[in-house]
Amino acid sequence: GDSVTQMEGPVTLSEEAFLTINCTYTATGYPSLFWYVQYPGEGLQLLLKATKADDKGSNKGFEATYRKETTSFHLEKGSVQVSDSAVYFCALSQATGNQFYFGTGTSLTVIP
Amino acid sequence: DTAVSQTPKYLVTQMGNDKSIKCEQNLGHDTMYWYKQDSKKFLKIMFSYNNKELIINETVPNRFSPKSPDKAHLNLHINSLELGDSAVYFCASSLGLAGGGTDTQYFGPGTRLTVL
């Protein structure tokens, strides 16, 4: 079946460091891919998404490119801030089958 | 205005009790969901409704029963609460069908349930 695998956390970085959170997926067909972010004490909110191969989603300095050849959707940011401290979830959605799959989440802490 | 709201935000109760969590969305979406998030932040879908019709019903104990009086509301009733039910429960909504391709899900702030 379909699934999403994220790199294990927690991740701790200094402010202005480069961030990569790996995400790979297993799916049939052409799913849509998402990154959601959960700030402390809050619900998840969409960070970015890509709906077809080679699409790049971007928001708030974060980027991720839908790579079908490597079945990956890695999240990157060039310079993290303390306010980026949160849990990041990679997710996959299929147009058919009424299913939505979340990864296990990666906790990021940015220290000043 | 809050897009997806849940009440209560915190719920502390004894084992064996029955409790309900309410969810409302004012986005005009057709689909609503309930998720359970455990202490390790793992997120598991429990139920999904589309226009008041049950679409997704994952392997969840019968003690959990969703109710959708209209497409803007999806409530979760839990009977005979157990210690293992302690978690954060999130309601969410999306424009189209569950897993409908490109649709973004909008999450509520969560309800932290503690069973003593």
pLDDT tens track for A13-29: 999 999 999 999 998 88
- CB of A46 closer than 8 Å to CB of B105: yes
Residue B97, pLDDT score: 66
Residue B41: the pLDDT is 87
Helix (H) or strand (E) holding B70: strand B64-70
pLDDT at A99 over 80: no
Asked whether the beta carbons of residue A43 and residue B56 sit closer than 8 angstroms, the reply is no
pLDDT over 80 (residue B31): yes
- Flag whether pLDDT at B101 surpasses 80: no
The string of pLDDT tens digits covering residues B45-65 is 898 888 888 887 777 899 999
- Hey, is A31 helix, strand or coil? coil
Give the pair of three-digit tokens for residue B1: 């205005």
Backbone angles phi, psi at A83, to 5 degrees: -70, -10
Taking CB atoms and an 8 Å cutoff, what residues of chain B touch A42?
Answer: 109-110
- Cβ of A107 within 8 Å of Cβ of B41? The answer is yes
pLDDT, tens digit (0-9, with 9 covering 90-100), for A14-67: 999 999 999 999 988 888 999 999 999 899 999 999 999 999 999 999 999 999
Question: What are the CA-CA distances from residue A95 to residues A6, A78, A92, B15, B20 (Å)?
Answer: 22, 32, 10, 40, 32
Tell me the pairing of strands B19-25 and B73-78.
Answer: antiparallel
Tell if the CB–CB gap between A100 and B99 is shorter than 8 Å: yes
Nearest by CB to residue A93, choosing from B48, B99, B109, is B99
Partner-chain contact A94 B101, CB within 8 Å: yes
Torsion sign, CA atoms B52, A3, B35, B96:
negative
Q: Which residues of A touch B25 (CB under 8 A)?
A: none
Name beta bridge partners: B102. Answer: none
Residue A78 has pLDDT above 70, yes or no: yes
Asked if B41 reaches chain A (Cβ–Cβ under 8 Å), the answer is yes
Of the candidates A74, A65, A76, which has an alpha carbon nearest to the alpha carbon of residue A19? A76
Distance CA A89, CA A103 (A): 6
Pick from B9, B42, B35: nearest CA to B111: B9
In the DSSP assignment, the letter for residue A42 is S
What's the mean per-residue pLDDT of chain B?
Answer: 90
Sort out which chain A residues have CB atoms less than 8 A from B101's CB and list them: 32, 51, 93-95
Q: In this predicted structure, what is the pLDDT of residue B1? A: 66
Is residue B29 over pLDDT 60? yes
